[in-house]
Amino acid sequence: MPKIIDVKELDFIYMPGSPYEQNALKNISFSLDEGEFLGIFGPNGSGKSTLVQLFNGLLSPGRGTVTVCDTDTADKKLRQQLWKKVSLVFQYPEQQIFQISVYDEVAYGPRNLGISETEVRQRVYLALEQVGLIPEETIGVTPISLSGGMRRRVAIAGMLALNPEILVMDEPMAGLDPIGRKLILDIINNRKEHKLTSVMTSHNLKEIIAIADKIAIMDSGCLVFFGAVSELLENNNILAKYRLELPDHIQLLSALAERGLKVNTNIRSLNEAALEILRLLA
Amino acid sequence: MTGIKIGQYVHGDSFLHSLDPRIKIICCIVIMVSVLINYSWYYLLFHLLLIIMAIKASGLSFRFMSGCLRSIRYLLLVTFVLQIFLTPGEAVLSLGRISISQEGLLIASINLLRLLILFFGSLLLIMTTSPIKLSAGIEFLLLPLNKLNIPVHHFTTILSISFRFIPTLIEEATIIKNAQRSRGAQFDSPNLIVRLKSYMAIIIPLFEASLLRAEELGEAMDSRCYTGHPNQLRMSSLKLMGKDLVLLGFMFLVLGIGISISLGSS
């Protein structure tokens, strides 16, 4: 499987040589296969947002290398074109909205790609549908008249309309209602079905454990864990140290296993857990 | 958070940081007056030397300070070019109908020097004085206006809130700029129109966010029963030291010499 993100011995320092110098990332190395979904966890200030800004070339690596979609992000010219392949949805993306209509807002990115207006229109309609909005009803609406949650959908549609090879979302669920949170998960599931890569930073392991392929846990700029979800579930030290709360059904299976019952603990979704318990009862 | 921004307060414990804000403000005004009333070469060069010594005493790097000149390069260039071409006098170089005069070169160089002194003087003031100290200093110096029924404390509250939100606005503008860059905004385009259009994508959301924040801050102040009154606690924290008085005396001495030279030459 080709590596779509390859990070080697990465260091990143903010304001080097100044009184405010801050070593944001320290010796980070990992790689991600194409089509996988990576969840990045860690407390505030652990370096999650800095790391994802290196994926789409907004920042350049201080030391080490970051190769994304076969592009070395240390090269300024190549880095500046990376937005065409990697879409980064910032925290509270609704704050970046500036156009007078939803259509123009979603079309801003595709228009910058230089594609025809017909294709722009197709992409806008498709992106709005992907975020659960009805294009015919929303394209003419002024974004400022929408609620916060709806505006975030519009902002995310603006990034989806770029048809990115990698979709990176920086805490997209912060402040969203349950419907909005489910929508984000649906978008990632949809991308997984189409073998498209996604990355998401979050504080809530419960929400994405069922669909994540790889998990990265960061602390004070260091990558303290990187691996498959099954490896994380076996690593009680990391789970306890970072107080990563697992979904109730996984906790139940682990508790049953601890009591000596022969139960498969390598299960993530609620349905699988229900089937496993039924099997046990039978 | 990509680097220290021009005009941003830089935390430190240097000689300049430790001075009383009132003295720094007065010294800055004295320098402004000095370089405006006296335009002799040696006097201006002496001030430039003082500024260089002040930069050294501030702990700020010369490289960063000289880099700040980039932000006013067009002002310096336009001032210099207009004065060398528009000042009448003995021509030293003629380009068709326009010529560069000897007097023009002299005045342009003097004014360039004045601008540099004024720029670095005010930059040192705001980069070595915390926003809280700066507004306390301004409030103290403007106190006499209270007798004219001018609400100085309201003015300084506005000022301190503005100072407080400058870093927040810079950070927000950086985030919005990065977000728009992720959608292909061309801030580095050689085409000026494209560049201006790209910047609209920052200005509009930034204005919206600022207005919302102002509204929220107003409500938060109301809910905590804010009533305008002089900030005694902040002002009583200001203490004059011996070094403040020595510096103040020295700057007034320099000003006095400048005035007497000007009066003598006229």
Question: Residue B180 and residue A96: Cβ atoms within 8 Å?
Answer: yes
- Mean pLDDT for A58-86 is 90
With bands split at pLDDT 50, 70 and 90, how would you rate the model's confidence at B266?
A: low
User: Which residue is closest to A18 within chain B, CA to CA?
Assistant: B4
First to last CA, chain A: 40
Return the higher-pLDDT residue of A262 and A53: A53
Distance in angstroms (rounded) separating the CA atoms of residues B257 and B253 = 6
Mean pLDDT of all residues in chain A? Answer: 89
pLDDT score of A246: 84
- How is residue A94 written in tokens? 């609704």
- pTM for this predicted structure: 0.77
Mean pLDDT of B180-205: 89
CATH tag for A3-229 (out of 3.40.109.10, 3.40.50.300, 3.30.200.20, 1.20.1530.20): 3.40.50.300
Is the pLDDT at A133 greater than 60? The verdict is yes
User: Residue B4 — very low, low, confident or very high, per pLDDT cuts 50/70/90?
Assistant: low
Whether B5 has a pLDDT exceeding 90, the answer reads no
Amino acid at B190: P
Is the CB of A142 inside 8 Å of chain B's CB atoms? no
Whether B44 shows a pLDDT value over 50: the answer reads: yes
Model confidence band, residue A19 (pLDDT cutoffs 50, 70, 90): low
pLDDT value for A55: 92
CB hemisphere CA count around A43 (13 angstroms):
7
Give the mean model confidence (pLDDT) for residues A128-133: 92
Q: Which of A14, A22, A56 sits opposite B182 (nearest CB)?
A: A56
The verdict on a CB contact (< 8 Å) between B4 and A15 is yes
Taking Cα atoms as reference points, which of A231, A241, A169 lies closest to residue A199?
A: A169
pLDDT for res B1: 45
pLDDT at B265 over 80: no
B204 inside 8 A of chain A by CB: yes
Name the β-bridge partners of A222.
Answer: A219
Contacts with B11 from chain A: Cβ below 8 Å:
19-20
Q: How far apart are CA B39 and CA B34, in angstroms?
A: 9
Q: Pick the residue of A98, A159, A165 with the most B CBs within 10 A to test the interface with B by mutation.
A: A98
Asked if B171 reaches chain A (Cβ–Cβ under 8 Å), the answer is no
Query: Lowest-confidence range among A79-83, A140-144, A156-160, B158-162?
Result: B158-162
Q: Is A23 on the interface with B (CB under 8 A)?
A: no
Among B104, B114, B109, B102, residue whose Cα is nearest residue B44: B114
Mean pLDDT across A43-62: 90
In the predicted model, what is the mean pLDDT of chain B? Answer: 85
Q: Say whether residue A58 is in contact with chain B using an 8 A CB cutoff.
A: yes
B213 contacts on A by Cβ (under 8 Å)? none
The mean per-residue pLDDT over the stretch B145-174 comes to: 84
The domain segmentation of chain B, as residue ranges, is 1-129+241-266
pLDDT band for A141, please (50, 70, 90 cuts): very high
Comparing A5 with B59, the larger pLDDT belongs to A5
For residue A191, what pLDDT is reported? Answer: 92
CB-based contact (8 Å) between A12 and chain B?
A: no
Nearby residues of A86 by Cβ (< 8 Å), 6 or more positions away: A55, A56, A57, A68, A69, A164, A165, A166, A168
Task: Supply the ipTM of this predicted assembly.
Answer: 0.84
Indicate if the pLDDT at residue B133 is higher than 90: no
pLDDT of residue B151: 83
Count CB neighbours of B56 within 10 A. Answer: 13
For CA atoms B17, B237, B24, B171, give the dihedral sign.
positive
Residue B146 has what pLDDT? Answer: 81
CA A217 to CA A194: how far, in whole Å?
Answer: 26
Give the mean model confidence (pLDDT) for residues A184-205: 91
- Whether residue B8 is predicted with pLDDT greater than 70 in this model: the reply is yes
DSSP letter, residue A56: T
pLDDT at B230 over 80: no
Specify the pLDDT at position B215: 92
Burial annotation A168-206 (CB, 10 A radius, 16+ → b, else e): bbbbbbeebeeebbebbbebbeebbeeebbbbbbbeebe
Cβ-Cβ contacts under 8 Å for B219 (sequence gap 6 or more)? none
* pLDDT tens digit sequence for A145-194: 898 889 999 999 999 999 999 999 999 988 888 888 889 999 999 999 99
Rounded Cα distance, A4 and A166, in Å? 8
> What per-residue confidence (pLDDT) applies to B144?
87
Q: Do A108 and B183 touch (CB under 8 A)?
A: yes
Residue with tokens 């005069």: B101
Determine phi and psi for B149, rounding to 5 degrees.
65, 30
Task: Give yes or no for residue B53 having a pLDDT over 80.
Answer: yes
pLDDT score for B231: 67
Interchain contact, B209 vs A112, CB within 8 Å? no
b/e per residue B164-203 (b: at least 16 CB within 10 A): ebeeeeeebeebbbbbbbbbbbeeeeeeeeeeeebeebbe
Quick one: pLDDT at residue A30? Answer: 93
Who's near B87: CB < 8 A, 6+ residues apart? B101, B103, B104, B107, B108
Tell me how crowded residue A116 is: count the other CB atoms within 10 A of its CB: 9
